Amino acid sequence: MLPTHQDESGGSGMKGQLRIEEIEQRIQEQAEEIVHLDQFVRLNFMAFAKLTQKFDQALQVSSGSIWYLRSSVAWLARAWSTSPTRPF
């Protein structure tokens, strides 16, 4: 837990403790949202890859799914190399 800060009266009080707990709760909620968003992105990636493969099978070609996978990998590589915090 984070240390409490001093409230307006100069002492460390209940008001400061509640504020820190509120901030910790918001951070936890944001972390959970990020995890859910990551799961959503990964699921959509896999679903779209399977969809393009099915389309390729139906059309008896192989260009759609290969293009999608190559462009996705290229995008991930660019995102990884340009992000200071490494996105994945």
Q: Span 52-57, mean pLDDT?
A: 82
Residue 69: which pLDDT band, with cuts at 50, 70 and 90? confident
Q: Looking at per-residue confidence, does 73 or 30 come out higher?
A: 30
User: What's the pLDDT at 83?
Assistant: 57
Q: What is residue 85's DSSP assignment?
A: T
* Residues 6 or more apart whose Cβ sits within 8 Å of residue 51: none
Rounded Cα distance between 1 and 18, Å, is 12
Q: Which letter does DSSP use for residue 4 in this model?
A: P
The amino acid present at 73, given as its one-letter code, is V
pLDDT at 86 (0 to 100) = 52
